[in-house]
Structures are given as C-alpha cells and as structure tokens.
Amino acid sequence: MSCIIRNYKAIKNCTMRVFLYGACLSILIEGMQFALNLGFFEWDDIISNIVGTIMGYYIVFTLVCVFEGKRRKENQNYEWITNSTLQFGR
C-alpha cells in the first residue's frame, strides 16, 4: 500500500494515459466493426473495455509494487549479511 501512496502522482498521470489508450483502441476496434459490418457496434463494449483496461493497469501496478518490495527486502537482508561477514572477516 505504501508503494501506491508514494507514487500517487505517477499513478494519476499514468491512469489518464491508460484511459486514453484504452478508449482509443476500443473506439478503433468498434469503429472498424461498424464500418466493415463485421459484428455489432455497441457503446457498452467501449465502456467495458475502458474499465477493464484501467482495472488491469491497477492490478499490474499493485503486483509490481508487491514484488518490488519483496525484492528490496531480500536485497537489504543480503547486504546486511555481506557487510557483517566482511566486518567479521577482518
């Protein structure tokens, strides 16, 4: 949770970018379906795709924060062991 709070501005800026990318891609696909008569053009598909895109972004961001935090803890433990070994070895 601290990763999310720490990176609030980055999340806010990236969320808008993710929203725009998801909206453009969804509108492009739905527009092609409409223009080529290959399926159904529905507004709720566009909305669902945008919401799914943003949810996916938050899930991936949260997982990255969790694994990054674990990696930092492992590195800190390893540095402590390495430093203490070097000090005792003198």
Judge whether 29 and 56 are in contact, CB under 8 Å.
no
What confidence tens digit (pLDDT) does each residue in 21-45 have? 999 999 999 999 999 988 888 889 9
Annotate 25-87 with DSSP letters as a single string: HHHHHHHHHHHHT-S---HHHHHHHHHHHHHHHHHHHHHHHHHHHHHHHHHHHHHHHHHHHHH
DSSP 39: S
What confidence tens digit (pLDDT) does each residue in 64-89 have? 878 777 666 666 655 554 555 555 55
DSSP 42: -
pLDDT at 73: 61
Residue 18: how many other CB atoms lie within 10 Å? 19
Query: pTM of the entire structure?
Result: 0.62
